[in-house]
Structure 1
């Protein structure tokens, strides 16, 4: 090794140990200026970047270093974990596999490679790694727990239950395993057993937010609103979200609000805001000056919302307030029960000034039912794989005698070929490119006869507008749709079309097609679909 480089490396190491990271980095970059592929300098810069929280740059240095220098097992694992933090899972897998080539039973590498494989959707390979991990560490409750989580993702539900039960046998006070077991049982429709698992978890740790919120959602699904709303407040304690407002000014329904300013602020998704904004006018009726804060995308639609003295966007400055409350906490604070959900008419209004921009869609001489359709929701939603439908699966619907309009705000690459084919056949018109705001979508929906949607924001928008909306639901729906009913207490003109077999949309698509075929013909005037009868 060149003496100058050796001296620079020693000085860099000394600076690192003293915490002088910038000085160390300067010396290491000096080495790279003369020897661009110097493995030790690259590795050192990767360590510094990781220490500074720049995982993308750290991963780049460490991947380069791994190609030019022999790394120990610990060094390979560190580099792989940095790559995971940088979302470079292909590189992480390659580094973990180098470890496993030398040490096939290395537990940390088996776990790490499984987690990256999951991120890339290679679930079977990930399961093989976790099964191997469970074989070499049969007494590891965590290993069986992680295997159970993956099995659930793979729709191997009975195996999932078995894995959680093995974890609990090995670690009887394993709260997370009880919670996941409860969720898995709930998703199989075994509600009493699910509630028992949540109860067991809470007997070990009464403050476990995961057990509380999952029990809340289960009770809400079952229509047990009093217990459900109260425990749903634990969602703020699970570490996944924060509203950023002081706890001491949270309105809980007990403080008088006559003459007070109450900030009602959005949380979660667009659909949640559209669903729960209905309760705002109850605060103004109690004498409150209500400031409603909504997502910017909803601001044009809700800017004149009834009961709100002022409506602001998420980037607007928040005015002084006496109390605040998250939107989904309103039912708890207002002690909402099932009979309180029903509304006699629409509570959101479309802007009539936007209606003429859709005139070109309704110029045909033959009047047929006009149907807006949405087949998938946000890709980032945790339950998206269950609630969304591929456009290919919906193709039988478009053979019905109706005019279909795609209200899909985000067309996935996997659906584009099918969409192009349906457009070419003239059975589906894609207007999504013209739907730049919820206000524009509302103006179009107001002119349609019917909206068909999966469980996403457009379904709530149509319901809030008082439009007939048919909602396609997975076998185990979100709690707000409850069970064993084809109507909804939330929306008077909603019909619910439910999977009868988990992960199988065939029956739902057939039912939708049959109901569209049963809509009134052109001689019957208005095309207002019936909302009566079971589905």
Structure 2
């Protein structure tokens, strides 16, 4: 090695150890100016970028020498972890596999490769890695816990339960394993057992937000609203989100609000805002001046909401307020009971001018039923794989002698070919280019006879508008739809169509088609 390069590397290492990253980087760039593919210099720049939190740049540096330079297992594993952080999972998998080629039982590489394979959707290969890890580290509770989480994703539910129980046997105070076991049991409709697992978790850590929130959702699903609303307040303590407003001005229902300005701010999804905005009316009736803060896409629809003195978007300056409250905390603060959920009249209204903009679609005197349909929600939703329906599975429904309008703003890649075919056959009208905001969607829905939707925001929009809405629900629904009922206390015009077998939409689609045919012949 060139003596000057040796001196520069040593000086760069010294600067790096002292936290002088800019100086270290400058020395390493000097090396690259004369030897552009110098492995140690590239690795050093990668380490600096990683330390500074720039994982994308770090991955660029670290993958260049990794392809041509002999690297130790520790170096390969570090480069792989950086690629994971940069969401470059193909590179991460290749680097972890190079580690495993040298040391097949290297635990960190087995785990790392499994996590990246999950991100790539290669679940069977990931499971093989985790099963190997469990053999290498049979006493690792974490290894069995991670295997259980993957088995649940793969819908191998009995094996999932066994893996969590094995993790608990190895680590009896493993709170997260009790929580996951409880969630798995709840999703199998074994509610008493699920609640017992949450209770065990909380006996070990009374402040575990995951156990509290999941117990809350289970109680809400079972209609135990008093317990459910109270513990649902723990959702803010699980580390996944913050509303960004001071805790000392949070309205809990205990403080008098007459003459006070209360900021009600949105949280979670569009559907949550549409569902819970009804409670703003009760708050204003109690004497509060309510400022309602909503997502920008909902602002044109809710700008003149009757229960609010002022409605603002999420990017607008927040006016002075005395108290604030997240919108989904209103039922707890207002002490809402089951009987208080019902709203017989619509509480959201479409704009008349926007309604007229759809005249061109309804110019004929066709007496066919006009039905809007939504078959999938956001791909980023945690329960998307359960709540969304592949469009092809709806073909028997879409062959009914009615007019279908797609209320989807986005059609996912896997549905596009089927969507194009249905549109070409005239079975499904695509109006997505005109659905600019929820106000435009509301105006179209106002012209329809019925909306059919999976559990997504459009279902709540139709319900809030007072439009008949048929909602297709997975075997284990979100807590708000409760169990074993085909109506909803939230929406007077809603009908619920539930899976009877987990993951199988056949019965739901057949029931929807039968009901459409029955309505047509009335």
Same fold (TM over 0.5): yes
Partner of 1:451: 451
Partner of 2:196: 196
For the 8 Å contact 1:38–1:68, the answer to whether it is kept is no
Q: Does residue 396 of structure 1 match 2:396?
A: yes
Partner of 1:347: 347
Alpha-carbon deviation of 1:364? 2.9
Q: Does residue 247 of structure 1 match 2:231?
A: no
Alpha-carbon deviation of 1:170? 0.7
| 19-28 or 206-215: bigger deviation | 19-28
Q: Does residue 216 of structure 1 match 2:216?
A: yes
For the 8 Å contact 1:89–1:120, the answer to whether it is kept is yes
Q: Does residue 69 of structure 1 match 2:69?
A: yes
Alpha-carbon deviation of 1:310? 0.3
Q: Distance in 2 between matches of 1:250 and 1:282?
A: 17
Q: Distance in 1 between matches of 2:83 and 2:302?
A: 43
Q: How does 1:379-394 map to 2 (within 5 A)?
A: 379-394=379-394
Alpha-carbon deviation of 1:10? 1.9
Q: How does 1:518-529 map to 2 (within 5 A)?
A: 518-521=518-521
Offset from partner CA, 1:62-101 (integer Å, 9 cap, x none): 0112123221111111111110000000000011111101
Q: Distance in 2 between matches of 1:37 and 1:498?
A: 60
Alpha-carbon deviation of 1:19? 1.6
Partner of 1:528: none
Alpha-carbon deviation of 1:455? 0.2
Alpha-carbon deviation of 1:3? 2.5
Q: Distance in 2 between matches of 1:304 and 1:101?
A: 64
Q: Distance in 2 between matches of 1:92 and 1:417?
A: 32
Q: Distance in 1 between matches of 2:204 and 2:11?
A: 52
Q: Distance in 1 between matches of 2:426 and 2:250?
A: 53
Q: Distance in 2 between matches of 1:351 and 1:382?
A: 33
Partner of 1:527: none
| 356-365 or 409-418: bigger deviation | 356-365
Q: Distance in 1 between matches of 2:18 and 2:440?
A: 60
Offset from partner CA, 1:134-168 (integer Å, 9 cap, x none): 01111111110000000000000000000000011
Partner of 2:27: 27
SS across alignment from 1:436 = coil
SS across alignment from 1:496 = strand
SS across alignment from 1:291 = strand
Q: Distance in 2 between matches of 1:43 and 1:57?
A: 11
Alpha-carbon deviation of 1:381? 0.4
Alpha-carbon deviation of 1:393? 0.6
For the 8 Å contact 1:37–1:65, the answer to whether it is kept is yes
Partner of 1:359: 359
Q: Does residue 111 of structure 1 match 2:103?
A: no
Q: Does residue 496 of structure 1 match 2:518?
A: no
SS across alignment from 1:471 = strand
| 325-334 or 356-365: bigger deviation | 356-365
Partner of 1:16: 16
Partner of 2:285: 285
Q: Distance in 2 between matches of 1:68 and 1:102?
A: 16
Q: Distance in 1 between matches of 2:275 and 2:289?
A: 21
Give the structure-1-normalised TM-score: 0.97
SS across alignment from 2:372 = strand
Q: Distance in 2 between matches of 1:410 and 1:272?
A: 20
Partner of 1:308: 308
Q: Does residue 335 of structure 1 match 2:335?
A: yes
Offset from partner CA, 1:413-443 (integer Å, 9 cap, x none): 1111001100111111011121010000000
Alpha-carbon deviation of 1:8? 1.8
Q: Distance in 2 between matches of 1:24 and 1:68?
A: 23
Partner of 2:425: 425
SS across alignment from 1:350 = coil
For the 8 Å contact 1:473–1:499, the answer to whether it is kept is yes
Q: How does 1:224-243 map to 2 (within 5 A)?
A: 224-243=224-243
SS across alignment from 2:378 = coil
For the 8 Å contact 1:182–1:195, the answer to whether it is kept is yes
Partner of 1:375: 375
Q: Distance in 1 between matches of 2:180 and 2:10?
A: 50
Q: Distance in 1 between matches of 2:5 and 2:69?
A: 16
Q: How does 1:26-175 map to 2 (within 5 A)?
A: 26-175=26-175
Q: Distance in 1 between matches of 2:144 and 2:291?
A: 49
Q: Distance in 2 between matches of 1:148 and 1:17?
A: 40
Q: Does residue 461 of structure 1 match 2:461?
A: yes
Q: Distance in 2 between matches of 1:246 and 1:89?
A: 39
Q: Distance in 2 between matches of 1:235 and 1:204?
A: 19
Q: Which runs of 5+ in 1 are unaligned?
A: 525-535
Q: Distance in 2 between matches of 1:14 and 1:225?
A: 61
For the 8 Å contact 1:40–1:69, the answer to whether it is kept is no
Give the structure-2-normalised TM-score: 0.99
- What is the root-mean-square deviation of aligned Cα atoms in Å? 0.8
SS across alignment from 2:41 = helix
For the 8 Å contact 1:261–1:290, the answer to whether it is kept is yes
Q: Distance in 2 between matches of 1:446 and 1:207?
A: 46
